[in-house]
C-alpha cells in the first residue's frame, strides 16, 4: 500500500505544562514547554510511521513555524511534501495542569491561520478574518496541491494508494476544497478518506469518499441532532446509505467505543480503558491510521480492525501530547 496524507491547515503544536492549577487572571509559570508537528493529516502520517508504514505528508507550510514543522517531521522519518506559502504556519497551544491539582485540566487553543506579509500590509483587509493570503496565491496553492497529489498517485506504479484528507480548511480556501481533491483522487482509483468537520465534511461527503471519520460531535452535526450512545450505529448507517453505500462511516465516540457503518452493515468495538490519560491530542488520528493499517496491511475484518485501532489510540492517549509511541506491537 502507498499512503498519502493531505493537510491544508497544519500547525506547530505547543504544549505548556503548569506545576499547579491554571490562574485565569494572574501570572502562570510553566514547568516545561514542548513543540511538535500538528494538523490531523500530519498526525495520521506520524501514526503510520509509528506503525512501520511510510507515507507522503502533503502539507502547506510557511514561515519559521512551517520550517520547524518540516524539520521535526523529517527528523522523525516522515516524508514531507511541502507546498510553500507566504503565510506563517499557525501555532496551536495546549495547557496541561496536574491531575491531582484542584482543577486538573487539559485546555486546547487552536489558532486561526496566520496572515501573510502581503496581507498584513493591506490595511483595508486587516479586519477581514478570511484574508490570509492574496486570492491569487490561494488558488495557486490548491492547484499545486491537486497537481502534486496526481503526481504522487501516478508514481504508485500499480500499487494501491490511500489518500487521507484531514483537518480544517483555512478560512481563505473554499470549503469544498477537500471535495474537489477527493474527486481528483477517485478518478485515479485511489482509496479516499476524509476526516474534517462542518461544511468541509458536508461537501466532502457529497464527493463520496471511501471513508469519513467523524467523532460523536461531528456525527451529531451531520445528522442535525444530538446523538445518544444507542443512536450512533443508526446515524452512521443512515449516512452511509445516503451515499448508496459508497462511503463507509468510521465513527469514534470516546468512552462509547467506535463504529463502522458500511451500507446497512454496522460493526463496533468497545473503548479501551486508559488508567492514566496524558493527552487526547492525536488520538482520533492514531485511530484512523491504525484502522487503515489493520484493514489494508493486516487484512483484518471490520470488527477486529476497529478493536486494533482502539488499542492503538489508547497507547497514544497514555503518551505525552507530542509523542507517538511504537505502535507496531499493538
Opening angle at CA 109, ends 222 and 43, nearest 5? 70
Q: What is the pLDDT of residues 18-39, one digit of tens each?
A: 999 888 899 999 998 999 999 9
Residue of higher predicted confidence among 132 and 216:
216
What's the pLDDT at 97? 85
Report CA torsion sign: 322, 284, 46, 301. Answer: positive
Q: What is the pLDDT of residues 156-202, one digit of tens each?
A: 878 899 999 999 999 999 999 999 999 999 999 999 999 999 999 99
What's the pLDDT at 117? 64
Q: What is the mean pLDDT of residues 249-274?
A: 96
Instruction: Judge residue 157's burial from the number of C-beta atoms within 10 Å of its C-beta, 0-12 exposed, 13-18 middle, 19 or more buried.
Output: exposed
Q: Strands 90-96, 106-109: parallel, antiparallel or unpaired by DSSP?
A: antiparallel
Catalogue all structural domains in the chain, each as residue range(s) with its CATH number.
Answer: 2-10+39-88+135-209+272-317 (3.40.1190.20)
Q: Is residue 251 over pLDDT 80?
A: yes
d(CA 7, CA 170): 10
Instruction: Judge residue 146's burial from the number of C-beta atoms within 10 Å of its C-beta, 0-12 exposed, 13-18 middle, 19 or more buried.
Output: middle
Phi, psi torsion values for 32, nearest 5 degrees: -165, 165
Q: What is the pLDDT of residues 48-68, one digit of tens each?
A: 999 999 999 999 999 999 999
Q: What average pLDDT does the chain have?
A: 92
Q: What is the mean pLDDT of residues 223-250?
A: 96
Distance of CA 195 to CAs 29, 182, 210, 319, Å? 35, 12, 11, 22
What's the pLDDT at 101? 47
Residue of higher predicted confidence among 249 and 100:
249
What's the pLDDT at 124? 54
What's the pLDDT at 300? 98
What is the 3 state secondary structure string of the chain? CEEEEEECCCEEEEEEECCCCCCCCCCCCCCEEEEEEECHHHHHHHHHHHCCCCEEEEEEECHHHHHHHHHHHHHHCCEEEEEECCECCEEEEEEECCCCCCCCCEEEECCCCCCEHHHHHCHHHCCCCCCCCCHHHHHHHHHHHHHHHHHHHHCCCCCCEEEEEECCCCCCCCCCHHHHHHHHHHCCCCEEEEECCHHHHHHHHHCCCCEECCEHHHHHHHHCCCCCHHHHHHHHHHHHHHCCCCCEEEEECHHHCEEEEECCEEEEECCCCCCCCCCCCCHHHHHHHHHHHHHHCCCCCHHHHHHHHHHHHHHHHCCCCCCCCCCCCC
What's the pLDDT at 110? 87
Strand order in the sheet with 2-7: 79-84, 55-61, 2-7, 161-166, 191-195, 211-212, 248-252, 258-262, 265-269
Q: What is the pLDDT of residues 71-104, one digit of tens each?
A: 999 999 999 999 999 999 999 998 888 864 444 5
Residue of higher predicted confidence among 2 and 113:
2
Q: What is the pLDDT of residues 139-154, one digit of tens each?
A: 999 999 999 999 999 9
Report CA torsion sign: 185, 191, 196, 201. Answer: positive
- Centroid of chain to Cα 237: 22
What's the pLDDT at 22? 87
What's the pLDDT at 120? 60
What's the pLDDT at 112? 80
d(CA 163, CA 216): 23
What's the pLDDT at 106? 73
Q: Is residue 119 over pLDDT 80?
A: no
d(CA 177, CA 173): 7
Q: Which residue from 262, 242, 252, 258 is spatially nearest to 217, judged by alpha carbons?
A: 252
Amino acid at each position: 500500500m502507498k499512503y498519502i496524507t493531505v493537510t491544508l491547515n497544519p500547525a506547530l503544536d505547543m504544549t505548556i505544562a503548569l506545576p499547579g492549577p491554571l490562574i485565569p487572571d494572574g501570572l502562570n509559570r510553566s514547568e516545561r514547554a514542548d513543540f511538535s508537528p500538528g494538523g490531523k493529516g500530519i498526525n495520521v502520517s506520524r501514526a503510520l510511521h509509528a506503525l512501520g508504514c511510510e507515507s507522503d505528508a502533503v502539507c502547506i507550510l510557511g514561515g519559521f513555524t512551517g520550517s520547524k514543522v518540516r524539520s521535526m517531521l523529517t527528523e522523525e522519518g516522515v516524508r514531507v511534501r511541502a507546498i510553500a506559502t507566504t503565510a506563517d504556519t499557525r501555532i496551536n497551544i495546549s495547557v496541561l495542569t496536574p491531575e491531582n491539582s484542584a482543577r486538573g485540566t487539559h485546555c486546547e487553543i487552536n489558532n486561526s491561520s496566520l496572515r501573510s506579509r502581503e496581507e498584513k500590509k493591506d490595511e483595508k483587509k486587516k479586519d477581514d478574518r478570511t484574508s490570509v493570503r492574496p486570492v491569487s496565491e490561494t488558488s495557486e496553492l490548491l492547484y499545486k496541491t491537486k497537481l502534486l497529489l496526481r503526481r504522487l498517485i501516478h508514481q504508485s506504479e500499480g500499487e494501491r494508494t490511500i489518500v487521507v484528507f484531514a483537518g480544517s480548511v483555512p478560512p481563505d480556501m473554499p470549503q469544498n476544497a477537500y471535495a474537489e481533491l477527493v474527486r481528483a483522487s477517485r478518478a485515479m482509483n485511489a482509496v479516499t478518506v476524509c476526516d474534517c468537520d462542518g461544511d468541509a465534511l458536508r461537501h466532502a461527503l457529497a464527493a463520496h469518499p471511501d471513508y469519513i471519520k467523524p467523532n460523536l460531535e461531528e456525527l451529531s452535526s451531520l445528522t442535525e441532532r444530538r446523538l445518544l450512545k444507542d443512536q450512533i450505529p443508526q446515524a452512521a448507517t443512515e449516512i452511509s446509505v445516503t451515499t448508496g453505500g459508497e462511503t463507509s462511516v468510521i465513527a469514534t465516540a470516546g468512552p462509547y467505543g467506535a463504529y463502522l457503518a458500511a451500507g446497512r452493515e454496522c460493526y463496533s468495538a468497545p473503548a479501551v480503558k486508559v488508567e492514566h490519560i496524558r493527552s487526547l491530542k492525536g488520538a482520533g488520528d492514531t485511530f484512523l491510521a491504525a484502522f487503515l493499517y489493520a484493514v489494508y496491511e493486516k487484512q483484518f475484518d471490520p470488527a477486529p480492525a476497529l478493536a486494533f485501532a482502539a488499542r492503538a489510540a489508547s497507547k497514544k492517549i497514555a503518551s505525552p501530547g507530542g509523542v507517538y509511541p511504537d505502535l507496531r506491537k499493538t
